[in-house]
Structure 1
Amino acid sequence: MVADLSRIRDWINMKKFTSLKATVAPVALGLAMLSTPAYAQDQEEAAEEDQGLIVVTGSRIASPTVTSSAPLQILDDVAIDDAGVTNVQELLLENPAFGTPALSRTNSAFLTSGTGVATVDLRDLGSARTLVLINGRRVIGGVAGTPNVDLNIIPTQFLQQVDVLTGGASSLYGSDAVAGVVNFVYKRDFEGIEANGQIGQTEQGDDLRYQANLTVGTNVADGRGNIMVHFGYSNEEGVLSRERANTFTDDFDGFRVTGNVEDFGDSRGPFFSSGSPQGRFDVNGTPTTADDFTFDPVTGAIRQGFFTNGPAGDGVNADGFNRQFFRTIAVPVERYLFATAGTYEVTDNINVFFEGTYSKTKSSRIIEPFFLSSGDIFPANGGRVPLETDVNGTLIVNPLVPQEVVDASQDVDGDGLRDYGFIRRIVEFGPRQGSTTRDVYRFVVGLDGTLFDDKFTWDISYNYGSNTENQFSSGQINVLNARNALAAIPDANDVDGDGDTTEAICADAEARAQGCVPLNFFGAGSISPGALAYANGESSFQVDQTQQVISANISGSLFDLPGGAAGIAAGVEYRRENSITELDALTNAGLNAGNAIPDRRGNFNVIEGYVEVKLPILSDQPFFELLEVGGAVRVADYSTAGTVVSYNGQVTWQPIDDIRLRGTYSRSVRAPNIGELFSGLSETFPSGLTDPCAGIGPTGGGTAGDVCRRDAGVNANIAANGTFTLTQPDIQGIGGFNGGNPNLFEETADSYTIGAVINPRSIDALRNLTITVDYYNIEVEDVIAAPPRAFTLDQCYNQDNPTFCQLIIRRQQGDAQNSAGSIEFINATQINGAVLKTDGIDVTATYRTNLDALGIEDASVSARIAYTHVFNNDFAPSTTAPFDPSAGEIGTAEDKFTANLNFEKGPLRWNWTGTFISKSFEDDQFCQAFGLDAECISVPAEFYLDTQINYAVSDEFEFYFGVNNLLDNDAPNILSGTSFNVTGTDTAADVYDVFGRSYYTGVRMRF
């Protein structure tokens, strides 16, 4: 810890911090004249009036204050309204404590599942390590087999506040709270009617967004009860890549073309795909394209050779296929939301309560038509299509194959039949499209009350959540049917009885009886409607997840200490999670030209109990206005991971009224989720791998040689060839399976925060100023991850690590294609072995005051700035591997801040928000792969400015108008061929704004 504190001191004195101040200070000062509080208040600034006993995020102990020993930020309903967001994710991501989201509208178009999902990720440690709660209780996951909550289910306008607790909190809330907690708090005891409608779109006229919301609340039974109901609808129509000039055409990064770092971000195009609709046909198995056949894209005539080149020096294919025309920048999302909550006082000391949420989310995706190869249809025999069919001892040539191809074709695969290979964009099948509907139900019922003259509060509740997802996709091909349809012969005997003896029919009589129609891949538009209907392979994806939680809690004070009443909280919880994922039969078998993916079923249950104490040792003493210590411990017994323990310790010292020092230490845990435990083995075909045994002889070779010779197949190969020898099919024939591991155990994280809260109340002019500074440090061990395959090879053969060697499967005997000892599979199942660590510093400053001193009556201004500097954010696939640093890279900027200010005068409220992302770098491994320094390429800093003006015509009616990205900043060019490119967007769309300047307007009515 001393070393860490020293690092902070050294960092503050560094020249780059001086430079940063020179950049940030004028911007912050300008925003102090011009900006809005995205976070309306920190917990230090909460209202001071008596609120009775409450429970604040970060502690289970009921208290009359909302102070917290751990860093806690509170976003209130006014700040949410002032942001004009459709999904609360948009607002949370402005906070520099949040990292790049795993899922959002702008990075999920290419996913087979998860399209349109919105998640959050504190500290860039992964969404699975951020616990999301509603009213302090768990929420069903929105992604199959994971606890990751889809924020589309959160009714933004029904929120009273959002609490963001940074730092480990597993001892209080259970598994997953490694990086922190985001707690969405619904409105309470609301009376009246509140409605709003909003519409907006970008300056370019796309991504139309509109929403309508209605909240109704009333007291019942003479004030003994209250019931609230909320209805919401929103629609974000999305943006296609072809709707923007900069993303209309396939391009490629200039650095990847020239090797000059100065060309990074320079668009080189058109850089069209070689998978064209007219197809490319290989007749002799050679890697060159000069002897391949294709069709002229203009005349349709067959020709030998491939595409003509594009602009000089670009090395692109001008006759290829423009994939960008079919890609997506932001997927559309439509939401229907219903939320309700209520309480009823049964007796003076007992209340019954309930809350419920229903969300229906619809999303869709579109990407380019499938790029099909003959290897997808005929994976055996070198992926070649037989040109001839043996009919009663006679070889009959497929009549759909052009004569030029027939004349040039050879028997490449050695089966006695001439063959050909092809690659082709199957545009006749249409673009690959998917439509997804998610239905989430969640309800909570329970009792709460007080005991012993209100010294203790208690509650007991049942929480049920259900998430069902139905996804249907098109644009794939049925491999079995395509295989039959590519084996065509002339209908010389008129077997179909239509009188035409020149047409082609499927060679297999059984296939013909099932509707087989021959496929003609030669030339664009050559596939007939009948063949298309026969070979089409639609797919489906269904998810059914449930969560049940029964919990009971009690909190109160046991006795008095010199500093006040000693607080205690305790509770027990039982939770059961279940997840089922089912795919169509073709996908299960890998027969839609994709990899085989099995269904998944899994469940677990856990019973856990916790105790928390808070001990105010001293108060109202010289140099000890407050000295308080506390801690918590939780023991959980999982049906899968066994017994796990988490705990924390906290200390708060307030030497004077104006300064409060705080520190926390936490041991947090994350138990493996259903996907990590029970995912079946899904097939994949990795590329770019080198067998470490290549060239190994009977002796020598160091560690790699010793490990290689332990394998009987390798020894047989060496005996036959003198050294271990591989053929091209051996090199290209490496497969693998990804999957879960039922033997996983929990991740453990040690984290601590050290901070100060400065509120100079003794200085009248500054009594409304609050400054917080917190250093955080989190290290996660036994991280659950699938190791990269290249790393697996290195660990096995260079480090002789048996854990990784067991993931490598070699062929023990050779066959017609592959050699003995060649690698058949390198599997990548989940294991507990990686390490994650991050540390940094958070600084916030808030200030609010009236403007009477300036002669402006009935006016006030409030300002806030939140800044985060990341020292480290590192990942290592094992404890013996070097760390891969990501701090400072794109998506994990070293410096981020959000500055806000709100001006109010009478019915007018005007607010501004500025968000800064510092200069960021390409991935260090990307640079080093080209022999360059780790920080060889950078993109400049970005600053986004938003504003909204509200005017209350009356107490009942208010209208507002807002502009996002007021400066109309373009996202930096992060193009295809680079590490952080999001396909279809020409940038890191999950980091930078891809919409440009956009406008919205709306009205609010309250009665």
Structure 2
Amino acid sequence: MKGVFWNDAGDTYSWDKNGTFHPFDMGDGVLEGPGTNGNYCTGDCEGYDPVNYTQLRIPLERQVYNLNADYQVNDHLRLFTELTYSHYTADGISSPVFHQGVEVSSENPFLSDEARAIIDADGGSAYIYRMDTEFGDRTYNQKRETKRALIGADGYIGDWNYSVFYQEGRLDQDTHWYGQVYDDNYLLAIDAVSDGSGNIVCRDQSNGCQPLNIFGEGQASQAAIDWVSASAYRKADAKQKNAGFTFTGPVYELPAGPVNVALSGEWRREEASTEPDANMQEGRIFGNQSLGYSGAYEVNEWAAEVSVPLVEDVFLMKQVGVEMAYRYMDYTSVGNNDAWKLGLNWAVTDDLKLRATKSKSVRAPSVEELYQAAGQTYESFTDVCDANNIDAGDSPYRKQNCQAVGLPEGWSASDDWYHSNHPGYNAGNADLKEETSDAWTMGFVYTPSFLENFSLTADWWSFDIANAITSIGVGTAVKYCYDSESLDNPYCSLFTRDASGDIVSFVQSPINVATYKTKGLDIEANYSYDTESMGLFSFNLIATYLDDWRYNPTGFASDLDVYVGEYTDPRWKGRFTAGWHYADWSVSAIASYRGSGVLDNDYTAKDVSYNNIPSQTLWDMSAKYQINDDLQVRFGVLNVFDQEPPRNPYTYDNSDGYYDTNGRSFFAGINYTFR
């Protein structure tokens, strides 16, 4: 796209590749975009086509080497080692740098007289939306190298099994970005003026600024492109060391069977760091600010599991047992916590088995979440304690909380505060705590004796995650500091006021305030039938029904997001596989089903006309042939019927892998075992 702007009357204008000014060509019409996503035009319109900047497959070169060795010392002791080395190189591509709403003055001598007249009529400046193709596509090259080594021993001591190990691993990652621009240089370069002698120069000629002509394609000088162009680099690494042991065996014999116990312990150290170049750390390049960090934590874990058989061979209780597990964790970063599980297994008959589990688990914050270095940022936001805002919203606590921090009735922020962006920091949070998940699962396994080789499994599950880690912007922090029931909340510590009441500093960091809730049903059915003359036929069906999936980033009811039923999280997903196995041949057909959904549960027909997305089923076919004990060939077709995604802007431009945009494709390969 060469560029576009709107005048006050709502007319849309653009330039052709030669810089000739004209009304924007809408093609076959316009679909209004939701929220701030602009508009989509159809047909041969002048808009930006995201498909032109989308890779069907990211080019990837991968080398993986594994060496596993073991030595049986005697009947009770085996020594083993595992060595892994991998090297990945990936090259990606995305759209050229783009700018939205950059201001251009009618004094710019690169403008045509016609364009200048329209801009002058609108006050002397226009806000341009543009894809900056002069700088080429944005590309990246990433190299990842992983090394891992493990040594261990396992064996028997009487009726007990044991295993001990020590492991070290390291990941090194180097990433280069190209096709970038210096943001400040770009804004200076497009602010071109005449020097009065017929020369076009930058209004601010410091630092060697070269004027950039953005009206059309190929109109910019190489000197201007070079002055604005930039690249970026970031080095990252992660290290892990851990050691552990496990002992398992029976401790007591009950009438229904032995009581089995597992005891384990593990020590682990996690380290991570990133080192971006100066351009990224200082936020000088387009859309790629990144700060370095370095940090580490250690954890000691101790666990015990016990399986107790309660009843055996009683009417409607073929076998009943309970499973219990407990894990204690001591982190150098977040202190100590625990996790546990309580499970019931009930075989009603040989055909029907019931099972249920109640558990608690935790996730400790990552090194990055804890130790991300502070980097300066500037934000514009609303102060809810201002007289213009204090009575807005639906919180009954806002006014009393604002007055409790010393702001008098009728207080307003200063004029200087309103007319500036405010300095603050983005940073990690060393005071983070672990996330906690409570889970329920209940299900059954049915293997009817009257239908050989058939099984049906169903499990209902529910997960509630509390104290989830989420990043909070300063505007949200200010709002919920004063809208909370009291000032003793996680938000008020994220910003500071001066003596006059103005907010003069803030930190945007992750805190433990979010919640997740999800529940659903997993179903799996299997059946196989072996014929004597035509081989083995097998059938497998896996399906998931999503009953609920919701997320709240703040804990306030007004911020609740319900995702179930949206195209990213449809109610139903499933996969059906039919297989045929005969001699050295294996053939399978796979149908993948994705249920219907909507773009957003909050959208109505007034928001967008394409909220509904229909269901889709894709078919894949594959075959394998075992030439001999060592060599196997495989081949197949993906998306056999060459189905396109549902016709919707999001299923192409922003599907995130939910829909196949490749079309029908073929693959072939070999597996060879070296002996």
Pairwise TM-score range, normalised by the shorter structure:
0.7 to 0.9
Cα distance, 1:344 vs. partner?
A: 0.9
Distance 1:797 1:973, change over 3 A: farther
Residue 638 (structure 2) pairs with residue 964 (structure 1): yes
Q: Distance in 1 between matches of 2:491 and 2:78?
A: 59
Correspondence for 1:908 among 558, 581, 585: 585
Distance 1:793 1:556, change over 3 A: same
Q: Distance in 2 between matches of 1:591 and 1:444?
A: 43
Query: Contact 2:541–2:575 (CA<8 Å) still a contact in 1?
Result: yes
Tell me, what secondary structure is at the counterpart of 1:924?
Answer: coil
Which residue of 2 is the match for residue 460 of structure 1? Answer: 164
Which residue of 1 is the match for residue 136 of structure 2? Answer: 430
Which residue of 2 is the match for residue 893 of structure 1? Answer: 570
Cα distance, 1:638 vs. partner?
A: 0.5
Which residue of 2 is the match for residue 874 of structure 1? Answer: 550
**1:184-199 maps to which residues of 2 (within 5 A)?**
none
Residue 435 (structure 2) pairs with residue 755 (structure 1): no
Deviates more, 1:914-923 or 1:676-685: 676-685
Correspondence for 1:994 among 643, 661, 669: 661
Query: Contact 2:17–2:216 (CA<8 Å) still a contact in 1?
Result: no
Q: Distance in 2 between matches of 1:738 and 1:610?
A: 37
Query: Contact 1:973–1:986 (CA<8 Å) still a contact in 2?
Result: no
Which residue of 1 is the match for residue 537 of structure 2? Answer: 861
Cα distance, 1:551 vs. partner?
A: 0.9
Q: Distance in 1 between matches of 2:648 and 2:150?
A: 45
Distance 1:812 1:343, change over 3 A: same
Correspondence for 1:829 among 509, 513, 535: 509
Query: Contact 1:835–1:875 (CA<8 Å) still a contact in 2?
Result: yes
Which residue of 2 is the match for residue 746 of structure 1? Answer: 434
Q: Distance in 1 between matches of 2:491 and 2:633?
A: 65
Query: Contact 1:597–1:681 (CA<8 Å) still a contact in 2?
Result: no
Tell me, what secondary structure is at the counterpart of 2:602?
Answer: helix
Distance 1:299 1:868, change over 3 A: closer
Q: RMSD over aligned Cα, in angstroms?
A: 4.3
Higher helix share: 1
Q: Distance in 2 between matches of 1:561 and 1:546?
A: 46
Distance 1:690 1:641, change over 3 A: same
Alignment deviations for residues 589-620 of structure 1 (CA, whole Å, 9 cap, x no partner): 11124464321222111111111111223334
Q: Distance in 2 between matches of 1:541 and 1:768?
A: 54
Distance 1:804 1:436, change over 3 A: same
Tell me, what secondary structure is at the counterpart of 2:480?
Answer: helix
Which residue of 2 is the match for residue 806 of structure 1? Answer: 492
Tell me, what secondary structure is at the counterpart of 1:991?
Answer: coil
Tell me, what secondary structure is at the counterpart of 2:227?
Answer: helix
Deviates more, 1:747-756 or 1:991-1000: 991-1000
Higher strand share: 2
Distance 1:1004 1:898, change over 3 A: same
Q: Distance in 2 between matches of 1:409 and 1:884?
A: 42
Q: Distance in 2 between matches of 1:421 and 1:921?
A: 33
Q: Distance in 2 between matches of 1:401 and 1:813?
A: 49
Q: Which amino acid aligns with 1:511?
A: N
Cα distance, 1:571 vs. partner?
A: 1.4
Cα distance, 1:544 vs. partner?
A: 0.7
For structure 1, list consecutive stretches of 5 or more residues without a partner in the other structure.
Answer: 1-272, 376-382, 388-397, 493-500, 815-819, 976-980
Alignment deviations for residues 572-594 of structure 1 (CA, whole Å, 9 cap, x no partner): 11111111112121221111244
Q: Which amino acid aligns with 1:741?
A: N
Cα distance, 1:783 vs. partner?
A: 1.3
Query: Contact 2:470–2:511 (CA<8 Å) still a contact in 1?
Result: yes
Q: Which amino acid aligns with 1:365?
A: G
**1:118-517 maps to which residues of 2 (within 5 A)?**
276=2, 296-297=15-16, 299-301=18-20, 307=24, 309-311=26-28, 318-319=45-46, 321-372=48-99, 424-452=130-158, 455-479=159-183, 481=185, 511-512=207-208, 517=210
Alignment deviations for residues 138-176 of structure 1 (CA, whole Å, 9 cap, x no partner): xxxxxxxxxxxxxxxxxxxxxxxxxxxxxxxxxxxxxxx
Distance 1:719 1:968, change over 3 A: closer
Cα distance, 1:633 vs. partner?
A: 0.8
Cα distance, 1:942 vs. partner?
A: 1.7
Tell me, what secondary structure is at the counterpart of 2:603?
Answer: helix
Tell me, what secondary structure is at the counterpart of 2:640?
Answer: coil
The count of residues paired between Structure 1 and Structure 2 equals 659
Residue 394 (structure 2) pairs with residue 696 (structure 1): no
Q: Distance in 2 between matches of 1:798 and 1:432?
A: 43
Which residue of 2 is the match for residue 151 of structure 1? Answer: none
Which residue of 1 is the match for residue 35 of structure 2? Answer: none
Query: Contact 1:735–1:824 (CA<8 Å) still a contact in 2?
Result: yes
Cα distance, 1:954 vs. partner?
A: 5.0
Which residue of 2 is the match for residue 529 of structure 1? Answer: 222
Q: Percent identity?
A: 24
Q: Distance in 2 between matches of 1:598 and 1:753?
A: 41
TM-score, normalising length from structure 1? 0.58
For structure 2, list consecutive stretches of 5 or more residues without a partner in the other structure.
Answer: 32-38
Distance 1:489 1:309, change over 3 A: closer
Alignment deviations for residues 82-113 of structure 1 (CA, whole Å, 9 cap, x no partner): xxxxxxxxxxxxxxxxxxxxxxxxxxxxxxxx
Distance 1:655 1:602, change over 3 A: same
Q: Which amino acid aligns with 2:250?
A: S
Residue 224 (structure 2) pairs with residue 544 (structure 1): no
Query: Contact 1:517–1:534 (CA<8 Å) still a contact in 2?
Result: yes
Q: Distance in 2 between matches of 1:1003 and 1:719?
A: 70
Cα distance, 1:570 vs. partner?
A: 1.0
Cα distance, 1:646 vs. partner?
A: 0.6
Residue 530 (structure 2) pairs with residue 850 (structure 1): yes
Tell me, what secondary structure is at the counterpart of 2:348?
Answer: strand
Q: Which amino acid aligns with 2:167?
A: N
Query: Contact 1:697–1:718 (CA<8 Å) still a contact in 2?
Result: no
Query: Contact 2:51–2:653 (CA<8 Å) still a contact in 1?
Result: no
Distance 1:437 1:313, change over 3 A: closer
Query: Contact 1:713–1:811 (CA<8 Å) still a contact in 2?
Result: no
Query: Contact 1:789–1:828 (CA<8 Å) still a contact in 2?
Result: yes
Deviates more, 1:633-642 or 1:750-759: 750-759
Q: Distance in 2 between matches of 1:445 and 1:385?
A: 68
Q: Distance in 2 between matches of 1:964 and 1:861?
A: 21
Distance 1:951 1:474, change over 3 A: closer
Distance 1:300 1:863, change over 3 A: closer
Q: Which amino acid aligns with 1:863?
A: F
Q: Which amino acid aligns with 1:776?
A: W
Q: Which amino acid aligns with 1:650?
A: G
Which residue of 1 is the match for residue 34 of structure 2? Answer: none
Distance 1:409 1:555, change over 3 A: same
Which residue of 2 is the match for residue 264 of structure 1? Answer: none
Cα distance, 1:683 vs. partner?
A: 6.8
Q: Distance in 2 between matches of 1:922 and 1:699?
A: 34
Correspondence for 1:592 among 272, 285, 289: 285
**1:106-125 maps to which residues of 2 (within 5 A)?**
none
Q: Distance in 1 between matches of 2:118 and 2:663?
A: 53
Q: Distance in 1 between matches of 2:422 and 2:236?
A: 31
Residue 601 (structure 2) pairs with residue 924 (structure 1): yes
Distance 1:734 1:327, change over 3 A: farther
Which residue of 1 is the match for residue 264 of structure 2? Answer: 571
Q: Which amino acid aligns with 1:450?
A: Y
Q: Distance in 1 between matches of 2:606 and 2:495?
A: 28
Distance 1:620 1:673, change over 3 A: same
Cα distance, 1:435 vs. partner?
A: 1.4
TM-score, normalising length from structure 2? 0.84
Q: Distance in 2 between matches of 1:752 and 1:824?
A: 46
Which fold has the larger relative contact order, with Cα–Cα distance below 8 Å and residues 6 or more apart in sequence? Answer: 1
